[in-house]
Amino acid sequence: MKGRSLKLREAHKGTSSPSLCSVVWGLDGCHVATASAADTAVSIHDAAGQPPASVTSLRHHKDGVTALAVSPNSGTLATGSIDHSVKVYSFPDGEFQSNVTRFTLPIRSLAFNRSGSLLAAAGDDDGIKLIATIDSSISKVLKGHKGSVTGLSFDPKNEFLASVDGFGTIIYWELSSGKSVHTLKAVAPSCDSDATLLNVLSWSPDGETLAVPGLRNDVVMYDRDTAEKLFTLKGEHERPVCCLCWSPNGKYMATSGLDKQILIWDVELRQDIERQKFDERICCLSWKSNGNAIAVIDVMGKFGIWEPVVPSCMKSPTEGAPSAQARHAKGLLLFDDVDEDPSTSGSLDDAIDESHGESAPISHKRLKKQSSFDDHSNEYTDGEKELAHQIESRKRSTSKLKETTGRGKEECAISRKLTKAKTQEAFQPGSTPPQYGKRRFLSYNMLGSITTIENEGYSHIEVDFHDTGRGPRVPSMTDYFGFTMASLSEMGSVFANPCKGEKNTSTLMYRPFSSWANNSEWSMRFEEEEVKAVSLGTGWVAAVTNLNFLRIFTEGGLQRHILSLNGPVVTAAGFKDELAIVTHASDCLPSGDQVLEVKVFNISEGTQSVECRLPLTPSSHLTWFGFSEEGQLSSYDSEGVLRVFCDHYGGSWLPVFSARKASKSEDESYWVVGLNASKLFCIVCKSPDSYPSVMPKPVLTLLSLSVPLASSDLGAADLENEFIMRNLHLSQIQKKLSRMATADLDTIALDDEAFNMEASIDRCILRLIASCCNGDKLVRATELAKLLSLEKSVRGAIKLVTVLKLPILAERFSNILEERLLNELKRPAVVTGLSSNGTSTKNAPLMKASMTSEATEVMQPESTFQPSTLPKPCLTKQDKTESKKVGMAEPHNDPKEETAMATSTNRCHQQMDPFAKISKTQEVEEKDKREQHMELCKNASEGTAKEGVNQVNTRSAGEGNSNEAANQRQSHRPVNPFIKSANNQGKSSLLDSIKKMKKADHEKDEKLNNKKARV
Amino acid sequence: MAGQSDPSLTIFSAPEVEFLGEDEMVEIVPNIRMESLNMICGDFGPFFPQMASKVPLWLAVALKKRGKCTIRTPDWMTVERLTQVLEAERESPREFQPLPFHYVDISRLLFDHARDDIPDAYMVRSLIEDIRDVRFHKVETGLEMISGRTYAVKLKNLSAMEVNIVRPFMVRTLQAFYKHDSPEMTQQEDFVGSRRPQVADRAPRRDLRPR
């Protein structure tokens, strides 16, 4: 540290007691305005002149002046005073222009935005006034601070206004909407008691960071967008920092502390490079916009200009900062390449000097015109000699700085990563960020929502179910913990709060909605551990902590398992027995891609069913994670891609929705709530908001899932999409089926569903074949025909292509059909050889499905002709079946009956078959033959499999079994794939069929009696 | 029109017009889960909580009365849209702005039964009243122009309630003109004159029928 001392001269006499003074540079760098809270006058000093400089005094205020601000574009000076008024003067000549506004309490802070169009004024009043300078109208009043606002700073990009109050609360305001974006509580020192001390804050000239005096005698940098703490400048200050200002290029920073010293920092190296001690506390600093000088003023009203501030061996504080004019023109600050890449600054000095010479001359010429103070422009104009000298001096400084740069490089690398690509924070699916004074969602899912609002230190939590008719009514709860995480299920809700400071430990709380025992809610406290994510399912509650512990509790609060996870948690979701947890697999890639990993645990079985990577769109992050209504794992990222996990290819994620393709207008975004097999449930948010607010109640919008298909030459994107989606759905059903079959559960409903799905896939394929034929894509049509699952549909396809006059295809399709029939002929033989119950075969569910879906219908054709034709025909029929059963050794040698049945099935096909019109008699005949054939083989398989065992019983006991056998026989009819949904039909006629069944039973009894009598 | 209280005058009472207006479709957001409702006029639902679905106004009101849903305000019933309409109504003294045929009835029903679902209800209400007044005034001034030589009065975009108010007057006026016309006029325009009242009589009705 150099032993220079700075001589201060008196600007404001005032009283002998310390009072708040302020100082500000004019843009041209020739004038300095000073004011004191103890003096009614504002002084404008000519800085260029020598000590007996001309001083203009402005005595319009009736009380002390507390705030000064100079408009960046025109020469106006705004002053705010304890007398509640804000006045505007021309600058530097000090002509009084107008009273801009009046407050009801003293003004504490003023700020112009970068273009000078807005003036923000605030003080002890409870609102920050934004005043349009052009007509002095108040454009907005921002309310939200509890104490007096002491510091204001406009973001240079004119997007935000940051403000700080006496309690140290910082609020980021969005200028366009006037809403607070972030609120940081108690981050700056509280200075409400001391009138001579004001909290301040300042945006870096590039607008990327906000500098705020911290609680530990340091300066804390906050991120522009996320308001997260980036880093701190900590050094030689022994007491809190009371004032700070950035150098024009943002490379340096000057801070003054309560310890009566000013430090100059190199922000990139996070090191103090210069220090100056004073007799009194410096309460205001202002960096000259075009020079290496700082104007300072102390609490006694003495001011001075410190020049040069930054040692000449280092880069100029103005280098890279655009000149005042350039700033007006662009309104934005753009850095030279040199300054953007700090890691190279130490080692590649010469290159930098070159590039500097190339890239910056224009701005430097401008600077030269404006000011003679700028040492850099001097150096530039003075020619090569000076330049060489400069390079030499740089080299010297390089050697000095070598070790620090080494360390600095690392830090810079880290800091860049921090600012650009951050590993994403933990979040709860369905939660919205906190907004000051507004209710927000802690959890929103398909069941209901948990909302909270902070109110005087306490929060009020409400749990609402969407279905007010069914869900339990949950009384609202006062929350003394400050819960920020919650999760909701039918059974209960779980809450957790992070640890805030030392006194507040992280707590997990579970509230069941109904319980047979009193007082069944419980809570857990975590010492030196912080809950990051919570989730719950049937009978379990899970919490993931910052120690990467997964803690699983039972519903009653028993600590069941504690597992260690691989990385920091991102989010967790629960569905019935399954718990899915997303963790970071590693630090995020330099490109900004998150590396995430997902694990699915089955809590009741204690197994881990899935472990895989969680894919995301490049440089996006996860925004929603959960299970679909059917229990499929799904994720949604910030780029609007919804993915579903499925078993294809050994477990993979399928993109099933893309917001880009779906959204009609640019400013719409989708906030996902849930999904089912075909629809996405989301809340549509209009542009500025990316999440819904609690009031008015958001309404769910249904969007169809659509796979991001390439635009094909077929021009049938809808069909292709339907085809893929349905196949996906079918595979899900089949997976569930096999799981249930192994668990020996009732699978009838699922069989039905699977069958319906197959039928609808076939329908879709047929339409695709049609469009392929129209588009002359015959190979594709053949491939599609091979995918048809029911041979009924293959026949339909044959008909279709014959109508479309494509005999080649018809031939090929017939070949496919024949092949299929042959295969099915072979397979049953194998099946019967291998297993007796037939569940292990692949098409067992199919056959079963055909059986069950028919089961309800079966009785109809029979019973419809029964009443009209009376016992006799029935009897003969019964006889026939009976006889057939007797003659089981040579099954189905009754061709007459077979054809009769086949024709009857044909009749009903003709009713429902869309291709019925084009069916020709000869084909029908052919089909009949084939059907017969098919039935033969099916019967053979089923008959041998099922009846073979109890054949003897059937023959002897006959009574109940004959009925069953009849059903079975009829159920073997091939089922029409064009039936809309066998299920529905079944439902609608359920009552009927039950009635008819009873009747039939009754009649059968009669018949049997008759028969017996005959016998 | 079986529901007409006075078929001879071809007049509807205001509640009757309102009844017809109840068939208009509105969007509701149910707060319960419910199977679909099979009505004579069609099937509605199934309903899922917090998912909007379209139902006729009468059903919406019935559900609202039972606290089973909230009614979403139609697009045209927002302050901005209504201010635009009101301005346009005031600017063009002869034309009527397109508004739903039953706008008076729909807004009335919504204000009676679903006031809490309408944002800025007070403002919306006063705007609708203003619009209605402006339009009625226009109708009145339009009718002043009717004379014996008038063949037609152009009243496009007229709403149900407005038509209903105008109808008896129109019919009677034209009848009176017809009666007082000179005999040669009558002979000349026998063809036209004999049909005129009927046309005036039927035109509004034809509008009502499809609803």
Instruction: Convert the pLDDT of each residue in A389-433 to its tens digit.
Output: 544 444 444 444 444 444 444 444 444 444 446 788 899 999 998
Cβ contact, residue pair A468, B72, below 8 Å:
no
Does the model's pTM come out above 0.90?
A: no
Radius of gyration of chain A (CA): 40
Q: Which two tokens stand for residue A908?
A: 């009903």
Q: What is the pLDDT of residue A310?
A: 78
pLDDT at B82 over 90: yes
Asked whether the beta carbons of B32 and B119 are under 8 A apart, the reply is: no
pLDDT at A580 over 90: yes
DSSP one-letter code for A944: I
pLDDT at A302 over 50: yes
Cα separation, A890 vs A375, whole angstroms: 112
What single-letter amino acid sits at B192?
Answer: V
Of the listed ranges A692-696, A977-981, B46-50, B120-124, the least confidently predicted one is: A977-981
**What whole-number percentage of chain B has pLDDT above 90?**
36
Work out the pLDDT band at A969, boundaries 50, 70, 90. very low
Question: How close is the nearest chain A Cα to the Cα of B99, in Å?
Answer: 26
Cα separation, B137 vs A114, whole angstroms: 53
pLDDT at B22 over 80: yes
Q: What is the pLDDT of residue A196?
A: 66
Q: What is the pLDDT of residue B188?
A: 52
pLDDT at A65 over 50: yes
Q: Which of A7-11, A533-537, B118-122 has the highest mean pLDDT?
A: A533-537
pLDDT at A930 over 70: no
Cα separation, A443 vs A450, whole angstroms: 5
Asked whether the beta carbons of A548 and A566 are under 8 A apart, the reply is: yes
Span A500-516, mean pLDDT? 83
Q: Is the peptide bond before A92 cis (omega within 30 degrees of 0)?
A: yes
Asked whether the beta carbons of A491 and A465 are under 8 A apart, the reply is: no
Considering only residues A961 and A281, tell me which one the structure prediction assigns the higher pLDDT. Answer: A281
Asked whether the beta carbons of A875 and A1011 are under 8 A apart, the reply is: yes
* Residue with the two structure tokens 């609490």: A299
pLDDT at A679 over 70: yes
Q: Which of A142-151, A172-181, A527-536, A967-976 has the highest mean pLDDT?
A: A527-536
pLDDT at A840 over 70: no
Q: Using DSSP, state whether A52 is helix, strand or coil.
A: coil
Q: What is the pLDDT of residue A695?
A: 82
Q: What is the pLDDT of residue A518?
A: 83
User: Which of A444, A684, A700, A987 is best to mutate for the B interface (most B CBs within 10 A)?
Assistant: A700
CB nearest A700 (choices: B51, B72, B119): B51
Span A633-639, mean pLDDT? 92
A444 touches chain B (CB under 8 A): no
What single-letter amino acid sits at A60?
Answer: H
Asked whether the beta carbons of B135 and B165 are under 8 A apart, the reply is: no
Kindly report, residue by residue over B139-168, the tens digit of the pLDDT.
888 777 777 676 666 778 888 888 888 888
Question: How close is the nearest chain A Cα to the Cα of B72, in Å?
Answer: 10
Cβ contact, residue pair B50, A696, below 8 Å:
no
DSSP one-letter code for A109: E
Q: What is the pLDDT of residue B206?
A: 47
Of the listed ranges A74-83, A289-298, A827-836, the least confidently predicted one is: A827-836
Cβ contact, residue pair B32, A470, below 8 Å:
yes
In DSSP notation, B145-173 reads T--TT------TT--HHHHHHHHHHHHHH
Q: What is the pLDDT of residue A1007?
A: 56
**What whole-number percentage of chain A has pLDDT above 70?**
69
pLDDT at A149 over 50: yes
pLDDT at A95 over 80: yes
pLDDT at A34 over 80: yes
Work out the pLDDT band at A1005, boundaries 50, 70, 90. low
Q: What is the pLDDT of residue A971?
A: 43
User: Which of B29, B50, B54, B69 is best to mutate for the A interface (most A CBs within 10 A)?
Assistant: B50
Q: Which of A92-96, A919-923, B4-8, B68-72 has the highest mean pLDDT?
A: B68-72
What single-letter amino acid sits at A672?
Answer: V
Q: What is the pLDDT of residue A1009?
A: 57
> What's chain A's length in residues?
1015
Question: How close is the nearest chain B Cα to the Cα of A466, in Å?
Answer: 5
How many of the other CB atoms lie within 10 Å of CB of A291?
27
DSSP one-letter code for B6: B
Work out the pLDDT band at B103, boundaries 50, 70, 90. very high
Cα separation, A507 vs A523, whole angstroms: 7
Span A332-350, mean pLDDT? 38
- Picking from A152, A156, A182, the residue whose alpha carbon sits closest to that of residue A164 is A152
Kindly report, residue by residue over A232-241, the tens digit of the pLDDT.
888 778 888 8
Work out the pLDDT band at A357, boundaries 50, 70, 90. very low
Q: Using DSSP, state whether A508 is helix, strand or coil.
A: strand
Strand duo A652-658 + A668-675: pairing = unpaired
A929 touches chain B (CB under 8 A): no
Q: Residues 53 to 112 of A: which have CB under 8 A from any B CB? A: none
Q: Which two tokens stand for residue B99?
A: 């508004």
Cβ contact, residue pair A468, B119, below 8 Å:
no
Chain B residues in contact with A470 by the CB 8 A cut-off are 32-33
Q: Which two tokens stand for residue A977?
A: 């794939």
Summary mean pLDDT of chain B: 80
| CA distances from residue A139 to A119, A133, A649 in whole angstroms, order as listed | 10, 10, 59
Question: Which residues, including other chains, have CB under 8 Å from residue B79's CB and lie 6 or more apart?
Answer: B119, B120, B123, B124, B127
Cα separation, A119 vs A76, whole angstroms: 11
Q: What is the pLDDT of residue B184?
A: 54
- Picking from A769, A786, A787, the residue whose alpha carbon sits closest to that of residue A778 is A769
Chain B residues in contact with A696 by the CB 8 A cut-off are 119
Q: What is the pLDDT of residue A43?
A: 84
Q: Which of A353-362, A627-636, A825-834, B151-160 has the highest mean pLDDT?
A: A627-636
Work out the pLDDT band at A634, boundaries 50, 70, 90. very high
What does residue A151 show for φ and ψ, rounded to 5 degrees? -140, 140
Asked whether the beta carbons of A708 and A658 are under 8 A apart, the reply is: yes
Q: Residues 696 to 755 of A: which have CB under 8 A from any B CB? A: 696-702
- For residue B48, give the chain A residue with the closest CA: A467
pLDDT at A862 over 60: no
Q: Is the peptide bond before B46 cis (omega within 30 degrees of 0)?
A: yes
Question: How close is the nearest chain B Cα to the Cα of A619, in Å?
Answer: 33
pLDDT at A217 over 90: no
Summary mean pLDDT of chain A: 73
Considering all CA atoms of chain A, what is the largest pairwise distance in Å, rounded to the nearest integer? Answer: 140
pLDDT at A829 over 60: no
Q: Which two tokens stand for residue A623?
A: 């925004």
Cα separation, A761 vs A746, whole angstroms: 24
Asked whether the beta carbons of A379 and A390 are under 8 A apart, the reply is: yes
Cβ contact, residue pair B51, A681, below 8 Å:
yes
